[in-house]
Structure 1
Amino acid sequence: MARGINKVILVGNLGNDPDTKYTQSGMAVTTISLATTSVRKDRDGNQQERTEWHRVKFFGKLGEIAGEYLRKGSQVYVEGSIRYDKFTGNDGQERYITEIVADEMQMLGGRGEGGGSAERASRPQRQEYGSGGSGASRRPAPAAAQPAADAGFDDDDIPF
């Protein structure tokens, strides 16, 4: 019988640039702040928006990828699990934290989203990263390695 399911799926935009740190063993730990917004109509028919902020953590290779490719404003799809932790602060008070531990990520939107040119942002890209269940990362070629037909350069000009 199933032990239980702890599954979170989020699609939102980064509120700031990713924060990547490394453990003593060299494993990357990247933290992002992800905003999800829902819209509903109130009794008077006016649209009401509600934005929720989520702390999302990526570990290992996924953390390295998130730290390198995500930027403030980037739209991203994240799958993971929710974790609640309790710790004692410097003032002796018990504090609680809720975070999402990601095991899958897909970058959504254009390459230029979050700070690029309008031309680049108009070309949608979709890249998927994650654990793949066996611990091996699925990492497609970067978006830059897939030039548009009107880019004006040959494949030999690409540095990778």
Structure 2
Amino acid sequence: MEEGHMAKGFNKVILMGNLTRDVEMRTTTSGQTVANFSLAVSRSWKDQNGQTQEQTSFINCVAWGKAGEIIAQYVKKGDPLLVSGRLDQRSYEDKDGNKRQAVEVNVEDFNFIGGGNRGDDMSSATPAKSSSSKSKDVVIEDIDDKPIDLSEIPF
């Protein structure tokens, strides 16, 4: 291996959870829209005594442009959402001048889950595809041969 040559990394995250709060939309100084939200992602397992344990992780997500606008339009606090994207780490200073680290999912694709129990401005079924620039479902093929079958996810 020649000097200075590193293996290319791989960064892909798939999460399914419920929004912990309503989506927060803002516009950057350059005029780009960005949506911030947090997903509560729970997992459960049985401990040595056979008792069911549950742990919930709260994961910050950011969706830029049209994707963020669509997410903000169709989901609110408590709603389920499936997202895929990459994990980003950034540094910033808080209001007291302390250096902080944040890890968040930069959303590249998403699917709405469930029947959408709101009858307001949604006359048809919940959109099954994200409207990101590429029109493909959130199915990720590069993990193995068979795509993820969303109907097999228990909820």
Q: TM-score, normalised by structure 2?
A: 0.74
Instruction: Give the counterpart of 1:89 among 78, 82, 94.
Output: 94
Equivalent residue number for residue 52 of structure 1: 57
Equivalent residue number for residue 128 of structure 1: 129
Matches within 5 A, 1:15-54: 15-54=20-59
Q: CA deviation at 1:89?
A: 1.8
Letter in 2 for 1:70: V
Residues 1:8 and 2:9 are matched in the alignment: no
Per-residue deviation, residues 83-139 of structure 1 (Å, max 9, x unmatched): 111112221211111100000010001111xxx47xx9xxx84522153xxxx2549
Q: CA RMSD in A?
A: 2.4
Distance 1:42 1:126, change over 3 A: farther
Cα distance in structure 1, aligned partners of 2:37 and 2:135: 20
- Checking the alignment, whether the CA contact within 8 Å between 1:18 and 1:32 is kept in structure 2 is yes
10-19 vs 89-98, greater mean Cα deviation: 89-98
Cα distance in structure 2, aligned partners of 1:128 and 1:8: 18
Distance 1:130 1:8, change over 3 A: farther
Cα distance in structure 2, aligned partners of 1:130 and 1:52: 27
Instruction: Give the counterpart of 1:98 among 94, 97, 103.
Output: 103
Cα distance in structure 2, aligned partners of 1:125 and 1:68: 11
- Checking the alignment, whether the CA contact within 8 Å between 1:31 and 1:56 is kept in structure 2 is yes
- Please, which runs of 5 or more residues in structure 2 have no aligned partner? 1-5, 137-155
Q: What secondary structure does 1:128 align onto?
A: coil
Equivalent residue number for residue 76 of structure 1: 81
Letter in 1 for 2:130: Y
Q: TM-score, normalised by structure 1?
A: 0.72
- Please, which runs of 5 or more residues in structure 1 have no aligned partner? 140-160
Distance 1:25 1:91, change over 3 A: closer
Which structure: greater helix fraction?
Answer: 1
Number of matched pairs: 128
Q: CA deviation at 1:18?
A: 0.4
3-12 vs 22-31, greater mean Cα deviation: 22-31
